[in-house]
Structure 1
Amino acid sequence: MTTTPRDETTPPDDATRLRATADFVRQQDTTTLLPLLLPGLDGPELRALADHCHFAHAALLLLPPDEATLRAQLAACALDPDTAQHPSVVVRDRLAHRHGLDPAALDVRILRPPVTGPAGEPRLVEVFTLTVPPGSALAHLAAHERAHEHEAHLALEVTRPDPLVLRGLCDLLTRHGAAPDGGGYNPHEDGTVLYFTAPADAEAGYRRIELYVPGDHRPALAAHLHDSRAHQPAETLLRLMTGAWTTQALAVSAELKLPDVLDTTTATAPDTLARATGTHPQSLATLLRYLAMLGAVTETPDGFRLTELGALLRTDTPGSMRPLALMYGGPFYESFGHLAHTVRTGQTAFDHLFGENHFDHFARDPELAELFDRSMAASSRMFEPLPAHPVLTAAAQAPAPATVVDVAGGNGELLGRILAAHPRLRGVLLERPHAVEAARRLLDAAGTGERCAYRAGDFADVPAGGDVYVLSRVLHDWDDERCREILRHCARAMPAHADLLIVERVLPADGSPSLATAWDLHMMCNVGGRERRADHYAHLLADAGLHLAGRSPLPLGATVLHARRAVIPAPAQGPAPDPVTATGR
């Protein structure tokens, strides 16, 4: 079996390494290679792995002195020297991290000349290249990389990718000794790579395994990178400790309206962006490189391009999350600096810092009040499935027009979605006076205002006679006693047939990772509230004479809890009278 040399005292030259890699790709069969790569893999697991992925290529990093030398080396191995070259973001960033260099200073390219396998199947030799002329400052990098072969790997391409398959394949690889070892998404070719370190007893001659997945699979990538960092505790801790930098980078990007002047298809030079945003060019370039690491922008030779993620910070994007970035990077960022006060005393850090709770603080500042309301609306994606909830669908199909009462409904974003989805429904929105006016403007603009009534007031003013009541992101603002009070106000207003829908982030019962756990800390520090488990909500509902009838998931880690009036058992009856004695016969 041909393998890539890796233990010689003097590293082989690029031409020898390239020939060994090309021969390996041409000779190997998937089903015989997999057990060599993952010792102990056999039977059903081998068939499962072979059914979902196949050996696609082997890769190496070449460091030629110039383009002509690279072309000659390719031709000598019967590889097409005219194969198209593209930027390699993942390997560029790995090299920069490994050698403490600026990624922008490394022009790493990737080309994939085709070859055929032993049965004539199409395969590739994946060649990463970084030109290192004689006397270059990168000479030490070239010597180190040739000696250690960090980027040499075997690639298994997933044939029918979906989240469940990817999770299963990753679990199978780790179960047989492969360790998660980074990865990334390459927008230039729309492909996701998940790297693993091969088991120590692997016999395939390669230290690294790549799981290549066509398309953008960043949720799976995020889970994989989380697993990778678990094997590097010091680096993981360092990344966690610098999370504040991420918050501020995104908030500053939003404040400068940087996403508004970036394009999603054409790259823009940093100097041009600096002029458009009124910023210092070199400083803005540094921010942009950090945003590229976060996936908010993509760096190209011509400048920077906005990604789908970064576009969510545009001011004109439907459902823009820009207000959230400004809120989390503004008042709530400041109060999080006093988290220790909350943990020591149990007092809300926001109140300690600003001298009043956030509702009163924002109410006294019209700009902050508007930002807060817009930040609440910015999470409206969690509402998208809610209008199709069976309770609302049934209400919309009732013989007589039904009424939905949105209690503390903010700027009317949720109620507007419900009314737009169900033209026969009517709405009532209860809120503070300034929020009522904002909701009136929003619903009128959406064409649903004529079916909505408005009431300015507090929880004690919950309108009676509705068919469906909605409490969206309200209960997590308050302690248990206040929650019971709010629920009792709702229960008193609800007719016997009415339903209550509660939208909250619900803490997992098993301690698994969840956005609710993060928001629990946020609510404690900034609001004085908390997130709760489903059984906790069930107890609060029971205290108000309601019962939890069901729950279903919503986007962004939210849940809709369905509650109804508690059924009071009828009093026990005595035994039925004997029909004979009852008639006196």
Structure 2
Amino acid sequence: MTTTPPDDETRLRQTAAFVREQDTAALLPLLLPGLDGPELWALAAHCRLAHAALLVFPPDQPTLHAQLAACGMAFDTPPIPSVVVRDRLARRHHHDPAELDVRILRPAVLGPGRETREVEVFALTVPPGSPLTRIAAHERTHQHEAHLALEVEHPDPLVLRGLCALLARHDATPDGGGYNPHEDATVLYFTTPADAKAAHRRLELHVRGEHPDILATHLARHHAHQPAETLLHLLTGAWTTQALAVCARLGLADALNPRTATTTATLARHTGTHPDTLDTLLHYLAMLDVVTPDGDGFRLTDLGALLRTDTPDSMRALALMYGGPFYQSFAALEHTVRTGEAAFDHLFGENHFDHFARDPELADLFDRSMAASSRMFEPVPAHPAVTAAGRSPAPRTVVDIAGGNGELLGRILTAHPHLHGVLLERPHVVEAARLALDAAGCGDRCTYRCGDFADVPAGADLYLLSRVLHDWDDARCREILRHCARAMPAHADLLIVERVLPVDASTSLATAWDLHMRCNTGGRERRADHYARLLADAGLELLDRTPLPLGATLLHARRATLPSPTRPPVPTPATTMAARPA
């Protein structure tokens, strides 16, 4: 049977007790076996045990404060953001760092000589039902961020280089690091040798101030220690995609239970698969945290539950799409990179909009895969532009342009009962949206229009463009936005949902989607300033942007207050959305 990891309060108590009891000079040989004599005393002379760190996941801040108080840990300074741990979590879980608000608290404890030490608490708030729950479960089990920190008391560059060299001689390998501007401190992480006697395998040198040369050398050594292993992990990404897609096709998530284990033999009979090979797949899925071993069988995790067919936030269709047609076209990525043309068109002989439109089963799968990302819409009904329309005493209308199955429009109409909606889409999509909005209880406040982008209804108060512009090149985007501008009264708002590229090389889902769009649709993701230019070309002004879940952004625009003298006229040819997917 698997062992349940200790809860956060238990781990806080254990860590505080450890920090209170440890002597620095006695601890160092446990971390670095073989360290003795002059080297031991040299390291102990320049460093002291400063803190032990752990990562916790409270449901809210008052709960965390209560847990700290119960463990006898008081603090009087406000928490500060953690840059290093946030980015490590983002890379480890392929998550947008903007959605990981990791904070640092350092409650003080007294060491054996009554010297002041700390417990470094990294806290990521995870309310019940949060999509971050799976990250919390994984991190509680593996405790990747647990470490001990040695404070370098006199951070002279020569001393720092000497300490790093001493650690290297005793087989401590660089394991990342960074500079935190919020506390003006540099951290250098190391992994201690495999034969270390201490429970903590990660060691931190904590240095006051910014030391860019030392940090750059340290990070270069970190990457030099693991390029082959890193590359192997990257090269096996295709295996992960197919393992998840096969899990979805076989219905494994539907056959598994999150509370009780199911044996491989039972699953093989249920899914008509080869037992021994299925067991291999299940162990691979366990490595991905989709399932978890339990006795002679496996249980479904919260992550794996997203591949079920009966859950409201199911992502099964997305797994089938990314492991199916888009997987095939991505194999022809080289064609896109060499020519700038969509690999999907090259492979299938037509664009994916037309290809899906001719295959009702594939079109339905695509529409359901788009709906799988609808959780990005959750904050939109609370945007000031939406609430202002919803609270107006006069009737207000919101138009969802190419609104697919009406998921976003339905959320807004449900949250604001006085609003009326208009959905503009292709005929077969309109019928599916009508059923969905009727089921949501707001179909009686919605009008349906079949048409293309040239048919945007005029005179409404709020217009929506959700995941539309990234399907098109800049010229078509300008046409779409000009159609919107021409229809919008002076007081109307335009809300655009897209993934926005970062301005630097930071980790971002938008960067991955940019490559995906170019390969499969011929479209692209864009930076915020790029969208601002496209809007300006259409006589619109970007007012603000708001982060959304799943790496998305809500862009808010209105008619420009002054007409642009260089703006080209609205073109007469219509930009069609006849093949626009939901």
| TM-score, normalising length: structure 2 | 0.65
CA contact (8 A) 1:197 1:208 kept: no
Over aligned residues, Cα RMSD in angstroms? 3.8
Q: 1:209 aligns with which of 191, 201, 216?
A: 201
Q: CA deviation at 1:422?
A: 1.3
CA contact (8 A) 2:51 2:118 kept: no
Match runs of 1:40-55 below 5 Å: 49-50=50-51
Take 1:340 and 1:171, find their aligned partners in 2: how far apart are those partners?
46
Determine helix, strand or coil for the equivalent of 1:162. Answer: strand
Say whether 1:402 aligns with 2:396.
Answer: yes
Q: CA deviation at 1:50?
A: 2.6
Q: Which residue of 2 is the match for residue 530 of structure 1?
A: 524
* Cα deviation digits, residues 401-451 of structure 1 (max 9, x gap): 211111100111111111111111111111111111111000101101111
Q: 2:443 aligns with which of 434, 441, 449?
A: 449
Q: 2:468 aligns with which of 450, 468, 474?
A: 474
Say whether 1:459 aligns with 2:453.
Answer: yes
Match runs of 1:255-404 below 5 Å: 255-404=249-398
Structure 1 gaps of 5+ residues are 1-24, 55-116, 121-155, 183-194, 212-226, 572-585
Aligned residues: 420
Q: CA deviation at 1:161?
A: 3.7
CA contact (8 A) 1:30 1:50 kept: no
Residue 167 to residue 208, structure 1, CA distance change in 2 (3 Å): closer
Take 1:41 and 1:436, find their aligned partners in 2: how far apart are those partners?
72
Take 1:328 and 1:431, find their aligned partners in 2: how far apart are those partners?
24
* Cα deviation digits, residues 43-93 of structure 1 (max 9, x gap): 9x968x538569xxxxxxxxxxxxxxxxxxxxxxxxxxxxxxxxxxxxxxx
* Cα deviation digits, residues 506-530 of structure 1 (max 9, x gap): 0000121110000000001001000
Say whether 1:29 aligns with 2:30.
Answer: no
Q: Which residue of 1 is the match for residue 80 of structure 2?
A: none
Take 2:124 and 2:270, find their aligned partners in 1: how far apart are those partners?
40
CA contact (8 A) 1:363 1:369 kept: yes
Q: Which residue of 2 is the match for residue 549 of structure 1?
A: 543
Take 2:430 and 2:561, find their aligned partners in 1: how far apart are those partners?
35
Say whether 1:244 aligns with 2:238.
Answer: yes
Match runs of 1:139-178 below 5 Å: 160-163=121-124
Residue 377 to residue 570, structure 1, CA distance change in 2 (3 Å): closer
Larger RCO (alpha carbons 8 Å, 6+ apart): 2
Q: Which residue of 2 is the match for residue 235 of structure 1?
A: 229
Q: Which residue of 1 is the match for residue 553 of structure 2?
A: 559
Greater Cα shift, 513-522 or 297-306: 297-306
Take 1:296 and 1:474, find their aligned partners in 2: how far apart are those partners?
31
Take 2:229 and 2:476, find their aligned partners in 1: how far apart are those partners?
43
Structure 2 gaps of 5+ residues are 1-17, 33-41, 56-109, 126-142, 152-159, 165-171, 177-188, 204-220, 566-582
Q: CA deviation at 1:343?
A: 1.1
Match runs of 1:83-98 below 5 Å: none
Say whether 1:500 aligns with 2:501.
Answer: no
Q: CA deviation at 1:229?
A: 7.4
CA contact (8 A) 1:197 1:207 kept: no
Residue 267 to residue 53, structure 1, CA distance change in 2 (3 Å): closer
Determine helix, strand or coil for the equivalent of 2:550. Answer: coil
Take 1:42 and 1:169, find their aligned partners in 2: how far apart are those partners?
24
Take 1:207 and 1:267, find their aligned partners in 2: how far apart are those partners?
31
Q: CA deviation at 1:119?
A: 6.5
Residue 396 to residue 46, structure 1, CA distance change in 2 (3 Å): farther
CA contact (8 A) 1:230 1:236 kept: no
Determine helix, strand or coil for the equivalent of 1:466. Answer: coil
* Identical residues among aligned pairs (%): 70
Take 1:310 and 1:463, find their aligned partners in 2: how far apart are those partners?
42
Take 1:198 and 1:229, find their aligned partners in 2: how far apart are those partners?
16
Take 1:237 and 1:356, find their aligned partners in 2: how far apart are those partners?
34
Q: CA deviation at 1:207?
A: 10
Residue 286 to residue 198, structure 1, CA distance change in 2 (3 Å): closer
Take 1:567 and 1:41, find their aligned partners in 2: how far apart are those partners?
66
Take 2:527 and 2:281, find their aligned partners in 1: how far apart are those partners?
39
CA contact (8 A) 1:410 1:431 kept: yes
Take 1:27 and 1:549, find their aligned partners in 2: how far apart are those partners?
52
**Structure with max Cα Rg:** 1
Determine helix, strand or coil for the equivalent of 2:266. Answer: helix
Residue 545 to residue 300, structure 1, CA distance change in 2 (3 Å): same
CA contact (8 A) 1:350 1:357 kept: yes
Q: CA deviation at 1:396?
A: 0.8
Residue 169 to residue 257, structure 1, CA distance change in 2 (3 Å): closer
Say whether 1:435 aligns with 2:429.
Answer: yes
Determine helix, strand or coil for the equivalent of 2:51. Answer: helix
Amino acid of the structure 2 residue aligned with 1:430: L
CA contact (8 A) 1:471 1:502 kept: yes
Residue 41 to residue 442, structure 1, CA distance change in 2 (3 Å): farther
| TM-score, normalising length: structure 1 | 0.65
CA contact (8 A) 2:258 2:300 kept: yes
Take 1:239 and 1:53, find their aligned partners in 2: how far apart are those partners?
26
Residue 241 to residue 26, structure 1, CA distance change in 2 (3 Å): closer
Residue 231 to residue 207, structure 1, CA distance change in 2 (3 Å): farther
Take 2:19 and 2:377, find their aligned partners in 1: how far apart are those partners?
52
Residue 291 to residue 537, structure 1, CA distance change in 2 (3 Å): same
